[in-house]
């Protein structure tokens, strides 16, 4: 008992899987990682130059710090900056916390509802740090150089992972090679620049406003911000890919 | 620092490390599951083994629609059922409307439709236990059909839904069938757009992949059907269940009944448009689902009818809401480790990389699921909102954590949590937060719907969204 004609879904039943597309993604991921390891010191050196330029723009003095080895043969010279001493300015943390809370409360009135929890992450992290500074220790366990160490470690691992995330999620699709390469290149470039901007902003903030802001930059402007742009790039890439796939008749089989 | 303080600190750090690793492992397990589902769904032929029977296997069907203060939406679903391409022969199709303690004029609307169509029956409940499961029990007693199909009042079934939905019942092993739910009010708010993405991922990928892989597809309580004999064998509706759908899914699966998913059987749903109604909805789902975990996990793992794979995946399915408090616990542990200085240690870097950005890898898998569903549906543009779902995830994590906190507190205190009805916005008639215990105010506050809503508008929107044309 078979119908002569089955009305198709408007949605695709499946996508065509091409083994070579996946292999292409894996090959690109290996190549990008190899290039990052091979040219890692130069890449990170470039990252440091961008951070230096931004710190100069912000009027923050720095010194050459220790050299950090991230991977075998991959090193980066850290920038040593100072941070505001709360012993000399005991009310500064409270001012910062109060101002951030007031700003978040004000912004929450105009901000779309789903973004409000993100807004409150600021006062929350400042509040927790303030509690730590008041009740546990007068300083956080890291100086700006330590923070840069953590930052470079995390970002380097992330840059190594990114091509694999794209290989698994995007390269396996039957869309033109140029589309995949373009989006991966844009993602890596953005990741590199955005990382330098955030690190410089973090160091400048510690310099002017103190270590209270360190967890905020670590948790919210660190890995969470990384995650947000990865999802954003993925969504834009999928948007393009959906347009291409919709035109492929073979995908309807 | 005193010795006692040092011991306390060491214990706190050790506990945080253990919690952090456990959270990471749990999230990693869910990550693998979601990634596998998405890849399988993208590149494997979906199981559609009963689709060809649609229109040929036409058993007697009783459609049950519990309604509590549904004046704003009642007409739409009844008009849609009148247009359905299932034979409107009273011996083949009956629609039983259970007016469950309504105070907003729902009863009068239903009576009017019953007068117009001989296949519609109305039951006015004014006494007894309230709530959806109780109303369904009542309706089931009156039903004569071999197959029971359930809808919430705010759903609008597609024209061919019934024939696609009942086709799998030609197989005597099938106990329940679930259709695909597609939001029709996308565009009325940012939240409804985000929920549209979430639903697409959940049905197009999650449900279809589970069904294709021979795992337990979930009967979702609405836009789904159950074989009457299977329902009776499983003990009927549990009036105490907050999520009677998950409860029935488990009871059927444990007893060896199969549950089919039909992606082609589309039903249009009004998703919450305000964050407050979304919060109430998540709370109910989280509590009901977790309650099912406590009641059915043991029986699920012992069931002789299920394969090991089905048992494992069933356990993952039941435990899904527990990941929210776990993630919150993971964040707390991560913060403690940060302030203790562990972030500096290279050995912890990969951990922090994975867990501090709200368990990025785990979350990315669910984003990948949504992205994959968009590729299959060919609805590219809306996927640009995907980054905002990070905020939605944070909202859900916080809501579920609080809800489960209340749930476990109530368990300790020996109390039962109540049921809250989802707010309706259609026809310029937000009918308030009827709380399922009756007396939900019909505040008619205009909601967020403009003029021109209603069935035709819903169908036009659904067609424009490209979601499975009829």
Question: Distance from B239 to chain A by nearest Cα, in Å?
Answer: 34
The pLDDT value given to residue B13: 86
Residue ranges of B 440-469 with Cβ closer than 8 A to chain A: 466-469
Dump the DSSP string for B93-126: EEEEEEEES--SSHHHHHHHHHHH-TTEEEEEE-
Contact B385, B194 (CB under 8 A): yes
The answer to whether B388 faces chain A, any CB pair under 8 Å, is: yes
> Do A39 and A108 have their domain in common?
no
> Do A76 and A161 have their domain in common?
yes
Interchain CB distance below 8 Å, B335 and A128? yes
Residue A5 lies in a domain: no
Chain B residues touching residue A149 (CB < 8 angstroms) = 344
Taking the C-alpha atoms of residue B147 and residue B261, their distance in angstroms, rounded to an integer, is 16
> Do A219 and A187 have their domain in common?
yes
Interchain CB distance below 8 Å, B470 and A7? yes
Residue ranges of B 214-253 with Cβ closer than 8 A to chain A: none
Nearest residue of A to residue B5 by CA position?
A136
> Tokens 């090679």 appear where?
A177
Residue ranges of B 296-355 with Cβ closer than 8 A to chain A: 334-335, 338-341, 343-344, 346, 349-350, 352-353
Contact B229, B145 (CB under 8 A): no
- pTM for the predicted model, two decimal places: 0.84
Interchain CB distance below 8 Å, A231 and B341? no
Interchain CB distance below 8 Å, A153 and B469? no
**Encoding tokens for residue B38?**
């998405």
Q: Which domains, and CATH codes, for chain B? A: 12-470 (3.90.550.10)
Parts of chain A with a pLDDT under 70:
1-10, 114, 249-253
Specify the number of domains making up chain A: 2
For testing the chain B interface, which of A6, A71, A113 should be mutated: the one with the most B CBs within 10 Å?
A113
**Nearest CB to A153; choose among B349, B381, B394:** B349
Helix (H, G, I), strand (E, B) or coil at B182: strand
C-alpha closest to that of B143 among B100, B85, B97, B80: B97
Interchain CB distance below 8 Å, A172 and B39? yes
Interface confidence: ipTM more than 0.90:
no
How many whole angstroms from its chain centre is CA B426?
20
Give me the sign of the Cα torsion angle A155, A160, A165, A171.
Answer: positive
> Do A77 and A173 have their domain in common?
yes
Question: Distance from A26 to chain B by nearest Cα, in Å?
Answer: 16
Chain B residues touching residue A145 (CB < 8 angstroms) = none
Q: What angle is formed at CA B42 by the lines to CA B41 and CA B47, rounded to 5 degrees?
A: 40
Give me the sign of the Cα torsion angle B398, B404, B407, B409.
Answer: negative
Residue A173 lies in a domain: yes
> Do A147 and A183 have their domain in common?
yes
Residue ranges of alpha helices (H) inside B260-419 are: 275-302, 308-318, 323-340, 349-355, 360-377, 388-413
Residue A110 lies in a domain: yes
**Encoding tokens for residue A15?**
């996508």
Interchain CB distance below 8 Å, A157 and B368? no
Residue ranges of B 27-46 with Cβ closer than 8 A to chain A: 35, 39, 41-46
Contact B50, B381 (CB under 8 A): no
User: φ and ψ at B154, to 5 degrees?
Assistant: -90, 5
> Do A50 and A119 have their domain in common?
no
Distances (CA, A) of B29 to B68, B168, B296, B320, B325: 40, 32, 21, 11, 16
Parts of chain B with a pLDDT under 50:
356-362, 428-453, 467-470
Residue A225 lies in a domain: yes
Chain B residues touching residue A16 (CB < 8 angstroms) = 43
Average pLDDT, chain B: 83
Interchain CB distance below 8 Å, B383 and A222? no
The pLDDT value given to residue A6: 30
Question: Distance from A200 to chain B by nearest Cα, in Å?
Answer: 19
**Nearest CB to B394; choose among A118, A165, A226:** A118
Interchain CB distance below 8 Å, B45 and A13? yes
pLDDT digits (tens, 9 = 90+) for B302-339: 999 999 999 999 999 999 999 889 888 888 888 888 88
Chain A residues touching residue B282 (CB < 8 angstroms) = none
Nearest residue of A to residue B381 by CA position?
A239
The pLDDT value given to residue B456: 61
Last residue of a domain, one of A104, A138, A172: A138
Nearest residue of B to residue A216 by CA position?
B335
> Do A165 and A209 have their domain in common?
yes
For testing the chain A interface, which of B337, B387, B466 should be mutated: the one with the most A CBs within 10 Å?
B387
Last residue of a domain, one of A118, A138, A158: A138
Nearest residue of A to residue B375 by CA position?
A242
> Do A149 and A237 have their domain in common?
yes
The pLDDT value given to residue B416: 67
The pLDDT value given to residue B467: 44
Taking the C-alpha atoms of residue B416 and residue B437, their distance in angstroms, rounded to an integer, is 13
Interchain CB distance below 8 Å, B339 and A141? yes
Interchain CB distance below 8 Å, A168 and B35? yes
**Nearest CB to A15; choose among B191, B363, B375:** B375
Nearest residue of B to residue A247 by CA position?
B378
The pLDDT value given to residue B367: 87
pLDDT digits (tens, 9 = 90+) for B344-382: 555 555 555 555 444 444 457 788 889 888 888 877 788
Chain A residues touching residue B341 (CB < 8 angstroms) = 141-142
Taking the C-alpha atoms of residue B402 and residue B385, their distance in angstroms, rounded to an integer, is 26
**Nearest CB to A235; choose among B45, B363, B386:** B386
Interchain CB distance below 8 Å, B353 and A157? yes
Residue A4 lies in a domain: no
Question: Distance from A88 to chain B by nearest Cα, in Å?
Answer: 22
User: φ and ψ at B203, to 5 degrees?
Assistant: -90, -55
> Do A116 and A153 have their domain in common?
no
Chain B residues touching residue A165 (CB < 8 angstroms) = 364
Helix %, strand %, coil % of chain A (to 5): 70, 5, 20
Question: Distance from B299 to chain A by nearest Cα, in Å?
Answer: 35
Residue A13 lies in a domain: no
Last residue of a domain, one of A138, A158, A175: A138
> Do A97 and A178 have their domain in common?
no
> Do A121 and A236 have their domain in common?
no
Interchain CB distance below 8 Å, A238 and B380? yes
Instruction: Count interface pairs A-B at CB distance under 8 A.
Output: 191
Per residue in B377-390, is it b (16+ CB within 10 Å) or e — as a string? bbbbebbebbbbbb
Interchain CB distance below 8 Å, B378 and A242? yes
Domain of A173, in residue numbers: 19-82+142-248
> Do A171 and A189 have their domain in common?
yes
The pLDDT value given to residue B321: 93
Interchain CB distance below 8 Å, B384 and A17? no
Residue A210 lies in a domain: yes
């Amino acid at each position: 008992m078979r119908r002569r004609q089955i009305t198709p879904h408007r949605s695709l039943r499946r996508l065509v899987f091409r083994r070579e597309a996946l292999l292409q993604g894996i090959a690109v991921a290996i190549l990008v990682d190899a290039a990052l390891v091979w040219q890692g010191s130069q890449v990170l050196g470039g990252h440091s130059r961008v951070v230096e330029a931004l710190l100069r723009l912000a009027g923050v003095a720095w010194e050459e710090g220790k050299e950090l080895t991230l991977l075998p043969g991959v090193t980066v010279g850290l920038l040593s900056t100072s941070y505001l001493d709360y012993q000399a300015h005991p009310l500064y943390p409270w001012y910062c916390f109060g101002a951030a809370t007031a700003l978040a409360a004000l912004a929450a009135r105009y901000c779309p509802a789903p973004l409000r929890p993100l807004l409150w992450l600021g006062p929350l992290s400042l509040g927790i740090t303030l509690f730590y500074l008041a009740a546990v220790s007068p300083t956080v366990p890291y100086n700006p150089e330590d923070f840069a160490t953590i930052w470079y470690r995390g970002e380097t691992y992330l840059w190594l992972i990114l091509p694999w995330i794209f290989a698994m999620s995007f390269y396996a699709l039957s869309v033109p090679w140029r589309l995949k390469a373009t989006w991966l290149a844009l993602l890596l470039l953005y990741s590199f620049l955005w990382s330098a901007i955030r690190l410089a902003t973090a160091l400048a903030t510690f310099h002017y406003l103190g270590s209270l802001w360190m967890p905020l930059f670590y948790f919210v402007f660190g890995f969470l911000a990384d995650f947000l742009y990865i999802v954003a790039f993925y969504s834009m890439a999928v948007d393009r890919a959906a347009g291409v796939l919709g035109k492929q008749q073979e995908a309807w089989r | 620092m005193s010795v006692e303080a040092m011991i306390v600190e060491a214990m706190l750090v050790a506990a945080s490390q253990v919690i952090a690793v456990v959270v990471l492992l749990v999230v990693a397990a869910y990550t693998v599951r979601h990634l596998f589902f998405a890849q399988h769904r993208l590149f494997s032929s979906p199981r559609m083994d009963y689709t060809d029977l649609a229109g040929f296997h036409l058993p007697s069907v009783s459609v049950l629609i519990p309604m509590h203060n549904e004046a704003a939406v009642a007409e739409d679903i009844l008009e849609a059922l009148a247009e359905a391409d299932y034979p409107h022969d009273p011996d083949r199709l009956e629609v039983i409307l259970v007016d469950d303690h309504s105070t907003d004029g729902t009863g009068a609307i239903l009576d009017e439709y019953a007068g117009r169509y001989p296949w519609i029956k109305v039951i006015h409940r004014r006494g007894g236990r309230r709530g959806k499961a109780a109303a369904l029990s009542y309706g089931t007693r009156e039903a004569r059909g071999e197959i029971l199909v359930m809808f919430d009042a705010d759903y609008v079934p597609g024209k061919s839904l019934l024939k696609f939905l009942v086709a799998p019942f030609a197989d005597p092993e099938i106990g329940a069938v679930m259709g695909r739910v597609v939001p029709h009010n996308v565009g009325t708010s940012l939240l409804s757009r985000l929920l549209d993405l979430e639903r697409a991922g959940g049905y197009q990928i999650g449900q279809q992949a589970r069904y294709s892989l021979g795992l337990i597809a979930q009967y979702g309580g609405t836009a789904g059907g159950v074989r009457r004999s299977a329902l009776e064998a499983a003990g009927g509706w549990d009036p105490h269940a907050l999520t009677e759908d998950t409860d029935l899914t488990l009871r059927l699966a444990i007893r060896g009944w199969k549950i089919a998913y039909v992606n082609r059987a589309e039903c249009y749903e009004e998703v919450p448009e305000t964050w407050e109604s979304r919060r109430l909805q998540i709370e109910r789902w989280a509590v009901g689902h977790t309650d099912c975990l406590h009641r059915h996990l043991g029986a699920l793992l012992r069931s002789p009818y299920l394969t090991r794979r089905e048992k494992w995946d069933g356990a993952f399915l039941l435990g899904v809401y527990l990941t929210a408090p776990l993630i919150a616990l993971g964040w707390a542990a991560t913060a403690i480790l940060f302030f203790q200085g562990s972030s500096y240690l290279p050995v912890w870097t990969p951990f922090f990389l994975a867990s501090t950005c709200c368990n990025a890898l785990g979350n990315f898998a669910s984003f990948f699921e949504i992205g994959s569903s968009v590729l299959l549906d060919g609805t590219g543009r809306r996927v640009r909102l995907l980054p905002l779902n990070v905020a939605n995830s944070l909202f859900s994590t916080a809501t579920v954590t609080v809800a489960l906190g209340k749930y476990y507190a109530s368990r300790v205190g020996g109390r039962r949590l109540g049921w809250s009805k989802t707010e309706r916005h259609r026809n310029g008639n937000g009918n308030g937060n009827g709380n399922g215990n009756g007396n939900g105010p019909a505040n008619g506050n205009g909601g967020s719907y403009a003029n021109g809503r209603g069935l035709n508008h819903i169908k036009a929107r659904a067609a424009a969204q490209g979601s499975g044309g009829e």
